[in-house]
Chain A
Amino acid sequence: MPDLDQRISRWLETNTFHHSEFWDMQELVRAKREAGLTISLCIPTLNEEKTIGKEIIVFKSELMDRYPLLDEIAVIDSGSSDRTLEIAASFGADTYLSSEILPQYGSKPGKGENLWKAIYQLRGDIICYVDADIKNIHSKFASALVAPLIYRPEIQYVKAFYDRPLAVSDDMRPSGGGRVTEILVRPLFSMFFPELTALIQPLSGEYAVRREVLERLPFPIGYGVETSHLIDLYQSSGLDAFAQTDLDNRIHRNQPTSDLGKMAFGILQGFMKRLRDYGMVKELPEFHGLFRQFQAEGHRYEQITREIFEEERPPMITLPEYRERHGRHG
Chain B
Amino acid sequence: MRKGTAKARPDGAALTHREKLRRLREILFANVVMAGEIPAPTGGEKRLTRFLSDRFTECGLANISLDQAGNIAGMLPGRVGDHTLLVSAHLDKIWSDADDHTVSVGAGMMSGRGLADNSLGVAVLATLPLILEELDLDLAANLVLLGTTRSFGRGDLAGMRFFLENVSHPIDAALCLEGIELGRLSYSSLGMARGEILVKAEGGEVENPEDTGPGVAAILAELVVALRRIHERESPASRILVGSIEAGSGYSVPPRSGMVRFEIRSHEADHVARIGKEIAATVAAASGRDGLAASLEMIAHRSPGDLGTDHPLVRHARDTLALLGIESHVAPSVSELALLLDRGIPSLTLGITKGENRHSPSEAISLEPIFDGLAQVVSVLQFMDEGKPS
Q: Which residues of A contact B (CB under 8 A)?
A: 49-51, 53-54, 56-58, 60-62, 64-66, 83, 86-87, 90-92, 135-138, 169, 251
Contact = CB atoms under 8 A, between A and B. Distances in A.
10 contacts: A53-B105, A54-B104, A56-B26, A57-B26, A57-B29, A57-B33, A61-B29, A91-B25, A136-B102, A251-B102
B262 to A, nearest CB: 34
A136 to B, nearest CB: 7
Contact of B33 (A50, A58, A90, A169): A58
Nearest to A52: B105
Contact of A66 (B25, B27, B37, B105): B27
Nearest to B58: A66
A60 B100 contact: no
B103 interface: yes
Interface in B1-60: 25-27, 29-31, 33-34, 37, 58
Contacts of A65: 26-27
Given A87-B107, A169-B100, A136 B37 contact: yes
Given A62-B30, A136-B37, A57 B105 contact: yes
B32 to A, nearest CB: 9
Interface in B92-128: 100, 102-107
A53 B37 contact: no
Contacts of B37: 136
The residue in A61, A65, A136 that gathers the most chain B C-beta atoms within 10 A of its C-beta is A61
Given A61-B26, A169-B100, 4 more contacts: A53-B107, A60-B30, A61-B27, A65-B26
A138 B31 CA distance: 11
B104 A60 contact: no
The residue in A65, A83, A136, A138 that gathers the most chain B C-beta atoms within 10 A of its C-beta is A65
Contacts of A53: 104-107
Given A60-B26, A92-B26, A54 B103 contact: yes
Nearest to A168: B100
Contacts of B25: 91
Nearest to A135: B102
Contacts, number: 53
A138 B58 CA distance: 17
Nearest to A51: B104
A58 B104 contact: no
A58 B30 contact: yes
The residue in A50, A51, A54, A62 that gathers the most chain B C-beta atoms within 10 A of its C-beta is A54
Contact of A87 (B27, B102, B105): B105
B226 to A, nearest CB: 42
Contacts of A90: 107
The residue in A53, A137, A138 that gathers the most chain B C-beta atoms within 10 A of its C-beta is A53
Interface string B353-378: 00000000000000000000000000
Contacts of B34: 58, 138
Contact of A83 (B58, B102, B107): B107
A61 to B, nearest CB: 3
Contacts of B26: 56-57, 60-61, 64-65, 91-92
A61 B25 CA distance: 8
Contact of B107 (A57, A58, A62, A86): A86
A62 B29 CA distance: 11
Nearest to A91: B26
A60 B104 CA distance: 16
A174 B104 CA distance: 18
A87 B100 CA distance: 23
Given A61-B27, A65-B26, A135-B102, A54 B107 contact: no
Contacts of B33: 54, 57-58, 137
A302 B105 CA distance: 41
A91 B27 CA distance: 11
A61 B105 contact: no
B94 to A, nearest CB: 20
A137 B100 CA distance: 14
Nearest to B54: A23
A138 B51 CA distance: 13
B38 to A, nearest CB: 11
Given A58-B34, A66-B58, A49 B106 contact: yes
